[in-house]
Amino acid sequence: MAQDVINLVEQAKNGSERAFNKLYDKYYKTMWFTIYNIVKNRDVTEDLISVVFTKAYMKMSSYTEHISFEMWLKTIAVNSSIDYIRRMKNEKLNNYIDDEETTIQLSDVEKSPEDSFIVKEKLKLTLEAIPTLKKQYRELIQSRIEGLSYKDIAEKLAIDELTVKSNLNKARNVLRQKISYH
């Protein structure tokens, strides 16, 4: 792994958003094409790209250098894509946080600098807001980001599926409010 990537990974592991943004810029296209080659859908690819980088950001501390950072990201991308395909067989409508206002949407592989900045800011605000949610809401949002269905979340948390849906709506509203206050 190139020394600059090693340095950026270390800085990101220590909480540097600037370093993580550089990693995002460096690996965005590669991850986009990795995901697209699996799901064959631009819109889904754009949604999954956000999920992949969100997962990577949340799990930075677990990254070890036994594989390259790019391969680690690709593993997250491939697993997220496969999870998506599995879910779609069981659930027709499935978005990761399920809300257009909180889901980060990307419209093209090539973005203008302004669009890239906006996407990064939305991702940053979302990532900053999730840990501030009540534990119950945080678990629901994180479970959706991980790709779990409502049924799977209900089983995981030992609650009714309708309660999952209701509380997830509440969690989305709280998350939306937190993001809009920034």
- What is the domain-level CATH number for residue 141? 1.10.1740.10
Cβ neighbourhood burial of 32 (10 Å; 0-12, 13-18, 19+)? buried
Domain count, the chain: 1
Measured between alpha carbons, how far apart are the two ends of the chain, in Å?
A: 36
Quick: pLDDT tens for 52-87: 999 998 899 888 888 889 999 999 998 898 888 877
The whole-angstrom separation of Cα 55 and Cα 76 is 8
Quick: pLDDT tens for 110-123: 455 666 666 667 77
What pLDDT score does 18 carry?
92
Of residues 130 and 27, more confidence is placed in 27
Quick: pLDDT tens for 141-165: 878 877 788 888 889 888 888 888 8
Quick: pLDDT tens for 91-107: 543 344 554 444 444 44
pLDDT at 27 over 90: yes
Q: Are 78 and 38 in contact (CB under 8 A)?
A: yes
At residue 139 the predicted structure's pLDDT band, cuts being 50, 70 and 90, is confident
Cβ neighbourhood burial of 25 (10 Å; 0-12, 13-18, 19+)? exposed
What pLDDT score does 32 carry?
93
What pLDDT score does 96 carry?
42
